[in-house]
Chains A and B, each alone.
Chain A
């Protein structure tokens, strides 16, 4: 019977650790921004979807060329020209970007203390459970 105390099982403890919590936080935050943009008539239009698919093809080709070039020259660069269109190569930038978001989430987690099991459980419950958020309304 539930007595008001949360179960302190080893299994649950292993489900929530700071890295997992940070990863989920970044993914959920990104999903929220995506949801907002999905409601925008321009951003969700068919021609914009087509543009994204097209520019991704260019980006993949550019990244391939960049990788070959970087390997050949043994140095890094952020830009490459492909078919006359300047493509910003995210390969290096994105890793830094993702690390920044991850570290940001980690910092917030650490603010809550040393991530004992109880704290991890609370963060996981409050931040990642859609069901519990609905219950709060």
Chain B
């Protein structure tokens, strides 16, 4: 079975892994951003995402994560390398 055919037949890798990797990447991005904030900004970030206000959330992203795409690509690459290292440990 070729990998392409395999993925079409693998609902786990088709959907679940996608979401899990997305979660990992977003978590890493937020950690990176959060650690670069000062005390008040950290409080602001927490409040912004504890309360359901879309405008404030969008404003936060625009202000603190303007380079979302670049960060996403960087963190995805890191996650990929970490997962590969873990796969390697298994064999």
Contacts and interface: CB of A to CB of B under 8 A. Distances in A.
A129 B10 CA distance: 21
A54 interface: yes
Interface in A28-65: 28-30, 32-34, 37, 40, 42-43, 45-48, 50-52, 54-56, 59
Interface in B1-44: 1, 3-4, 6-7, 10, 12-13, 17-24, 26-28, 30-31, 34-35
A97 interface: yes
A101 B85 CA distance: 10
Contact of A48 (B21, B49, B80): B49
Contacts of B3: 99, 102-103, 106
Instruction: Categorize the interface residue count of chain B.
Output: 35 or more
Interface of B is mostly: helix
Interface stretch (A6-14, A68-76, A78-86): A78-86
A108 B88 contact: yes
A30 B10 CA distance: 16
A133 B73 CA distance: 34
A47 B20 contact: no
Contact of A42 (B31, B50, B89): B31
* 7 A-B pairs closest in CB distance: A29-B86, A47-B49, A127-B90, A43-B27, A108-B91, A50-B49, A29-B87
22 contacts: A25-B91, A29-B83, A29-B86, A30-B20, A30-B21, A33-B86, A42-B35, A47-B50, A50-B49, A59-B22, A85-B61, A85-B62, A90-B22, A94-B18, A97-B21, A99-B4, A101-B83, A102-B7, A104-B84, A104-B87, A108-B91, A123-B91
